[in-house]
Amino acid sequence: MNAPMQGVLQAVPSAPIIPAIFLKALSRVSGRYYGMIGCTNYISSGVMVADKIYAMPFYVGVNESFDRIGVSVNTGSGNAHLGLYDDNGSGLPNSLLFDTGEISVSTGGLKESIISQALTPGLYWLAGLFSGTPSVFRPWNIIDLIGLGSISVFNGGSACFYLTSQAYGSLPNPHPAPSLASSSDLQPGICLRRV
């Protein structure tokens, strides 16, 4: 496995991919960043599409609080809004919980905003909307994890997130009717930092 890169968000696999018996033992660690369900290290990058809302699943198993939201930019372009939606109970992004406001992603490096967000157990949706086409670090997805055995990974979109047309600006509330991403779409590695 590649060594973690300096200045790049490193995500730890989240609780839903681990059997429930291990949930307490593998709870999130204070000061670390966590991303979409089933992601491992952010070790590749991809170009984002402007005027599309990226919405990636984020599961919370216990009451938790987060103090940062961020994304690691490889090659900069434009601005972005990052945020979080709750779930409508049917696996779709619903009401906007917060929007960072406009942040610059015009240069490389870690781009993050200070937040104060307490979450109760449930499914949420990390979101990003870009004005340009930055290249950002993104996760490799875990497709299969049976118990604590072997994993199968692949590099690419998996139709496991939503990519919905939306003119650049503040994240809309509620989320518009989402469109499932295709297998060729690339998701950004948006992460929250655990308090």
Query: In whole angstroms, what is the distance from residue 66 CA to residue 30 CA?
Result: 9
pTM: 0.79
Domain boundaries, the chain: 15-194
Tell me which fold the domain 15-194 belongs to.
Answer: Jelly Rolls (2.60.120)
The two structure tokens encoding residue 39: 């992601």
SS3 181: coil
Query: What pLDDT does 28 receive?
Result: 80
The two structure tokens encoding residue 44: 């590749």
Q: What digits encode the pLDDT tens for the residues 49-73?
A: 999 999 988 888 889 999 999 999 9
Query: What pLDDT does 186 receive?
Result: 83
Q: What digits encode the pLDDT tens for the residues 142-168?
A: 433 323 333 334 444 445 789 999 999
- DSSP code, position 39: B
Query: What pLDDT does 101 receive?
Result: 97
Whether the CB-CB separation of 56 and 69 falls below 8 Å is answered with no
Query: In whole angstroms, what is the distance from residue 1 CA to residue 44 CA?
Result: 13
CA nearest neighbour of 123 among 85, 97, 160, 159: 85
Query: What pLDDT does 164 receive?
Result: 96
| Count of positions (residues) in the chain | 195
The two structure tokens encoding residue 87: 């779930």
User: In which residue ranges of the chain is pLDDT below 50?
Assistant: 1-5, 10-22, 24-25, 39-42, 141-158
